[in-house]
Structure 1
């Protein structure tokens, strides 16, 4: 009698170590370097990566090129893996066990002149939940990388990045021009316009900023080769104060970053910039925020805005 052998395939369950391995490879740009960082052998790390790819059913890393690169699926998975690992590290951090802080990220200028009233109102109303205001020099203000729970954002996200995110519109901020205090532009008492800035080098925050040269119509677009590229608000202000460039931002920057060598002027002919509170929904996809205090933060922010409107109305 012949005995038939039944082969049973057991589906692997991905573990935290698989995510850490993938993140290390993506960060290091090679399996060899990542293996050294993780203090494991290269074959063991390659095997761990293959296990994760088998579990997901997609290839995350392109091994056919001379330099290791993430595939399209790998780039999509990168943010999810980083968020998951950050969430686990947060949950297992004894220092954050009690209370659970609410981390509010911003890339620049926070909540403008409403920042201090928001922080004070939160401390008075919810003293058991610390509100940590963090500047993160990323376009998403640390939300996509898992560094914060909720973010004040002005830069729009592309549709792929917006998956699994929820948000609340807070207000619209008018654009302003930032010019050196000793320049001819600063002597103007009225609003400036894009044409008046077009012949000057433009300071562009390429890491977390909102302004690009696309803001100008093509016929008056500033020379891209003359642009002064910076990575954060501090360097942006420094370039303008030194007379090396002019810049465009919103009224919140004028409120949060006064500078003796920089003059802010209203900028006519440009649309306002919407300010949003953005957060991740819970991993289960229930439509609820990942941090339980997010709804309270939204309510407090709207209350602060409403009080300001009544006070100036």
Structure 2
């Protein structure tokens, strides 16, 4: 039995006439009659009652028609689903975002991706440290990471999306808060709050390098994993923090942001496993690049 036998039977059963069914199927009537007869012989039961004027379904034929329609519909749906997957229109992706971009970029990404790629199921994780993102993508638990390079895992492809300038977050009543801008050296006698360094945090190392290039060893008062916690401690007066400018979108009472001159910028990149060819992944990557560029 082949799918064409089911299609032939459904056409005859719906038309109740071999001639009309043959026209519908774009074939001659004798071969159609032969195929239906062969189907009945294979099943061992008559499906049709034939008269000179029309065709009627037997009780077995009525039941077989219902099942045949279900089978053919399922085959068509499977084909549509395969075509949709091949075109990158459906699938599931997990996207992780570094803390400094979580509050500025993630809302725009979530909204934009849902609008552009409604057939893809997106899951988001924010406030992630770069080492955790790299591990998750490498192990296949995450598909796309928005992170701050460098990334030393050779299994990942890393594309720079943009460069963000650095700013200083201070408590409103901090002695330096009244300045228009700061230089890294101005923080020499100030306690600092930084991202945790025990797992090779990119921002931790960035702050450490900036301070040493300015000629002093920083005083780290607290190390935290989440950017929101870092700013909460700044508001509480534990110290200042050097952060990428997108963090300023997280408005927190008691925190002032000042430009940091001479500190350069930090890159924001998208990372994913090299060699992955899934169409829905690459459609999402294109959308992410576009949305970040427009941010």
Q: What TM-score bracket applies, with the shorter chain setting the length?
A: 0.5 to 0.7
Are the counterparts in 2 of residues 200 and 246 from structure 1 also a CA contact under 8 Å?
Answer: yes
Which residue of structure 2 aligns with residue 263 of structure 1?
256
Q: Which runs of 5+ in 1 are unaligned?
A: 1-98, 282-286, 309-313
Query: Bigger CA drift: 260-269 or 146-155?
Result: 146-155
Q: 1:218 to 1:270 in 2, by over 3 A?
A: closer
Say which of 102, 106, 109 aligns to 2:100: 109
Are the counterparts in 2 of residues 176 and 251 from structure 1 also a CA contact under 8 Å?
Answer: yes
Q: 1:107 to 1:199 in 2, by over 3 A?
A: same
Q: How does 1:89-238 map to 2 (within 5 A)?
A: 100-110=91-101, 113-135=104-126, 137-145=128-136, 146=139, 147-158=141-152, 162-188=153-179, 190-206=180-196, 207=199, 208=201, 210-212=203-205, 213-218=208-213, 220-224=215-219, 226-238=220-232
Q: 1:245 to 1:219 in 2, by over 3 A?
A: same
Would you say how many aligned residue pairs link Structure 1 and Structure 2? Answer: 198
Structure whose alpha-carbon radius of gyration is higher: 2
Are the counterparts in 2 of residues 106 and 141 from structure 1 also a CA contact under 8 Å?
Answer: no
CA deviations on 1:112-165 (whole Å, 9 max, x unpaired) are: 63433322221112111122220254323434133311100114123xxx2111
Q: Which runs of 5+ in 2 are unaligned?
A: 1-89
Normalised TM-score (structure 1): 0.57
Are the counterparts in 1 of residues 212 and 218 from structure 2 also a CA contact under 8 Å?
Answer: no
Which structure carries more helix by proportion? 2
Are the counterparts in 2 of residues 140 and 155 from structure 1 also a CA contact under 8 Å?
Answer: no
Are the counterparts in 2 of residues 169 and 275 from structure 1 also a CA contact under 8 Å?
Answer: yes
CA deviations on 1:237-261 (whole Å, 9 max, x unpaired) are: 1221111111111011112x21111
> Hey, what's the Cα distance between the residues in 2 that align with 1:141 and 1:242?
28
Which structure carries more strand by proportion? 2
Which residue of structure 1 aligns with residue 269 of structure 2?
276
Which residue of structure 2 aligns with residue 249 of structure 1?
243
Q: 1:235 to 1:277 in 2, by over 3 A?
A: same
Say which of 233, 257, 260 aligns to 1:239: 233
> Hey, what's the Cα distance between the residues in 2 that align with 1:248 and 1:301?
26
Say which of 270, 276, 280 aligns to 1:288: 276
Task: Give the CA deviation at 1:295.
Answer: 1.6
Which residue of structure 2 aligns with residue 13 of structure 1?
none
SS at match of 2:145: strand
Are the counterparts in 1 of residues 170 and 239 from structure 2 also a CA contact under 8 Å?
Answer: yes
> Hey, what's the Cα distance between the residues in 2 that align with 1:140 and 1:194?
26
> Hey, what's the Cα distance between the residues in 2 that align with 1:244 and 1:151?
31
Q: Does 1:297 align with 2:284?
A: yes
Normalised TM-score (structure 2): 0.60
Query: Bigger CA drift: 294-303 or 134-143?
Result: 134-143
CA deviations on 1:151-204 (whole Å, 9 max, x unpaired) are: 00114123xxx211112211110011111111122211x221101112111112
SS at match of 2:289: helix
> Hey, what's the Cα distance between the residues in 1 that align with 2:213 and 2:202?
20
Q: 1:125 to 1:115 in 2, by over 3 A?
A: same
Which residue of structure 2 aligns with residue 93 of structure 1?
none
